[in-house]
Chain A
Amino acid sequence: MSIDRQGGAKQLAGIVLFVLLVASIPLATDSGVILNFVMMALYAALLAQAWNILGGFGGQFSFGHALFFGTGAYLQAIAQLHGGLNAWLALLLAVAGSAGVGVLVGALSFRYGLKGSYFALVTLAFAEVFRILALSVPFTGAGVGLMLPLRESFANMQFGSRKGYVYLVLALVTAALLVTWWLKHSRFGAYLQAVRDNEDAARAIGVSPFGVKLGAIALSGGFMGAGGAFYVQVFQYIDPGIAYGPGTSIEALVAAIVGGMGTVWGPVLGALVLHGLSDLTRNLFGQLPGINMVIYGVVLVLIVMFLPRGIAGLGATAQSLWYRLWQRRGGRCG
């Protein structure tokens, strides 16, 4: 796998452009509807990008990413409620803690060579264990959940308008984009993709699959935990079902796969498309329980059937077609 420097600079410019573009939206509009859509789409992109680091770049399909989401969310809430910690410090703790859980689960699963379906099942089981634990122990508020008191101020990471949250989640998404960009253009990223494509071959040339996968699950878990912490700051409430239930795991995975695994922009695209789709159906059919998820499921099946490389893959196909066409024309002229 070659490290493409020129393409890297171009992609980096793309990220900067994206950030500037999105950052200008809150300056241009006060519409709550638009701001809310942007915030939720970015939040979905964050979760999808987190899943993408391990699933897309590392080829390890987790069905239980809620494990990290929930851990981040609970740490964010508990650190403030019981620890009296500042919200920003709590965010650091949430990221570190969920990355730590990632290392723990990864060390166990990868040490014993779990992959493919087995890894998917074991992550699902871990999420379920944590859900039941969160229901049973007192410091998570059990089934009642935890409520964060409303104290609007920058220091408390609680903002009066949606704009503050848009910038917060944009910062997190930017960090995730930069990490995936780094994965595309760094030695570690090349190792990770090599392990995904052929673990034995990677080991034969001296890559440690265990260490590489462990790094990936820590990064992935950390970002997922940041997503959980963000959720708590926005909605100021968390309970075991929201934290560790399968909903979040599915949302992250579907958006990443629909957009295109192992790409920088795929998860963002997937999150945007799915979120737009679910908003559209809400407008068409009203607030019907389950309809969103039915659509997620249908889109997932259709994408796997007809577009295994996701929407970003479609773009790549079109791009290479265009490039070939352009080259042919260039050849004719010369």
Chain B
Amino acid sequence: MFDFSILFPSLLNGLTTGAVYALIALGLTLIYGVLHIINFAHGAALMVALYAVYLLKERFGIDPYLALPLVVPGMFVLGYALQRLVINRASHGKDENILLVTLGLSIILENAALLAFKSDTRTIDTAYTLTTIAIGPAMIALPKLVAFAGALVVSGLLLWIVGKTDLGRAIRAVAKEKHGAKLMGIDVDHVYAMSFGIGLACLGAAACFLLPAYYVNPQVGSGFVLVAFTVVVLGGMGSFGGALLGGLLIGVVESLGGLYLGESLGQIGIFVIFIAVLLFRPQGLFGAKA
């Protein structure tokens, strides 16, 4: 049962999936950390990005990896506009309202996709979809390896933006003390929208890395949204390092859970972790903030 030749591929598989989870969760945790809101439309936005990648490939023959410079800015603009035009206006300064508006947005996006694309599950075909690479006793699909590396690179980039640039300093200032930041001449609404945009841009990157080895349908986002919330909660709300580690951990848990409990029961493991962390350790495993 604990045979290394079974365990190792499963572990590796979990790590590659986990890296993508981490990337999705990083966007979510950035939005949470700065705006202190839970973006319920995160999964639906990922679904939009996946359809964008799908359409670019099917209509214009653009390779998913080459679609990165199109999809990432596109998602950024979408996020910026949504925050500035809809979410910010609807909040009336209340967190519950933001929760409801993002829920409304996710309902709209998911069902608009259902209207446009029907509920069919779609995949794309690339030259490298079925290419596998041997690592030790494990055979792993090339797109998954690329996704792993890509997710880590984009995560690094995000950490650099937040940690080292002027925009990042403004973001951290607003996250800590928005009134103080405003007095220092920072345009808070702009920083909010930038954070939301960057959060969704992460999803654009995640979609480009995911699709070659994954699929898209209108409901695909809801599967990810709870996983992403789990990762964020596990890592500690607003913590980047936590989201990264949490993502990898959840990927491994899901993969091992699927191995030992079967596909559908394995998923329960994630939700049980989610509920348990929310109840017993809401600051997260790695979160310092109480």
> Chain B contacts of A129 at CB under 8 A?
268, 271-272, 275
Contact with B along A222-261 (1 / 0, CB 8 A): 0000000000000000000000001000100100010000
**CB atoms of A128 and B99 under 8 A apart:** no
Kindly specify which of A144-152, A213-221, A283-291 makes contact with the partner chain: A283-291
Q: Is the CB of A118 within 8 A of B111?
A: no
Find B86's partner among A125, A135, A301 (CB 8 Å cutoff): A301
Interface 1/0 per residue, B247-288 and A, CB below 8 Å: 000000000000000001101100110110011101000000
The residue on A at minimum CB distance from B106 is A297
Q: B119 near A: Cβ within 8 Å?
A: yes
Given A132-B267, A304-B101, also A116-B112 (CB < 8 A): no
For residue B99, which residues in chain A have a CB less than 8 angstroms away from its CB? Answer: 61, 116-117, 120
Measured CA separation A133–B272 after assembly (Å): 12
Q: Which of A40-72 contact B (CB under 8 A)?
A: 61, 63
Of A106-114, A177-185, A197-205, the segment with at least 4 beta carbons within 8 Å of chain B is A106-114
Per-residue CB contact flags for chain B residues 53-94 toward chain A (1 = under 8 Å, else 0) read 000000000000000000000000000000000100110100
Chain B residues whose C-beta falls within 8 Å of the C-beta of A27 in the assembled complex: none
User: Is there a chain A Cβ closer than 8 Å to B96's Cβ?
Assistant: yes
- Would you call A125 and B226 a contact (CB within 8 A)? yes
B97 at the interface (CB under 8 A from A): yes
Contact with A along B95-113 (1 / 0, CB 8 A): 1110111011111101111
On whether the beta carbons of B38 and A117 are closer than 8 Å, the reply is yes
Establish whether residues B274 and A125, one from each chain, have CB atoms under 8 Å apart when the complex forms.
yes
Q: Is A294 an interface residue (CB 8 A)?
A: yes
Report B-chain residues with C-beta under 8 Å of the C-beta of A132.
264-265, 267-268, 271
Q: Which of A125, A298, A300, A308 has the most CB of B within 10 A?
A: A125
Encode contact with B along A61-86: 1 for CB under 8 Å, 0 otherwise.
10100000000000000000000000
A60 CB to nearest B CB, Å: 10
Q: Chain A residues near B96: list those with CB within 8 A.
A: 61, 116
A133 to B92, CA, bound (A): 39
- Minimal Cβ-Cβ distance residue in B for A128: B271
Query: Which single residue of chain B is at the shortest CB-CB distance from A293?
Result: B111
Closest B residue to A63 by CB, please name it: B103
Count of B interface residues, CB-CB < 8 Å: 44
The SS class assigned to the B binding surface is: helix
Select B101's contact among A121, A128, A305, beta carbons within 8 Å. Answer: A305
How near does chain B come to A233, taking the closest CB pair, in angstroms?
A: 28
B111 cross-chain contacts in A, Cβ below 8 A: 290-294, 297
Flag if B265 contacts A300 (CB, 8 Å): no
User: Of B115, B118, B222, which contacts A291 at CB under 8 A?
Assistant: B115
Q: How would you classify the secondary structure of chain A's contact residues: helix, strand, loop or mixed?
A: helix
Q: Which of B205-238 contact A (CB under 8 A)?
A: 218, 222, 226, 229, 233
Q: How many angstroms between the C-alpha atoms of A305 and B89 in the bound complex?
A: 7
A195 at interface, CB cutoff 8 A: no
B114 within 8 A of A: yes
Residues on the B chain within 8 Å of A253, using CB: 103
Q: Type the 1/0 row for B145-160, where 1 means its CB is closer than 8 Å to any CB of A.
A: 0000000000000000
- Let me know if A250 and B107 touch, CB within 8 A: yes
Say yes or no: B97 contacts A301, CB within 8 Å: no
Q: Measured between alpha carbons, how far is A147 from B271 in the docked complex, in Å? A: 29
Chain A: minimal CB distance from B16 (Å): 23
Q: A61-B96, A250-B107, A291-B115 are in contact. Are A114 and B279 (CB under 8 A)?
A: yes
| A136 at interface, CB cutoff 8 A | yes
- Residue pair A109, B104 in contact (C-beta under 8 Å): no
* Binary flags per residue of B107-143, CB closer than 8 Å to A gives 1, else 0: 1101111110011000000000000000000000000
Can you report 27 A-B residue pairs in the complex whose CB atoms are below 8 A from each other? A63-B40, A112-B282, A121-B274, A121-B278, A122-B275, A122-B279, A124-B226, A125-B274, A125-B275, A126-B271, A128-B271, A129-B271, A129-B272, A132-B264, A132-B265, A288-B115, A289-B119, A290-B112, A290-B114, A290-B115, A293-B114, A296-B107, A300-B104, A300-B107, A301-B90, A304-B104, A305-B89
Given contacts A63-B40, A112-B279, 12 further A-B contacts (CB under 8 A): A109-B279, A112-B278, A114-B279, A117-B37, A117-B95, A122-B274, A129-B268, A132-B268, A293-B107, A293-B110, A301-B86, A304-B101
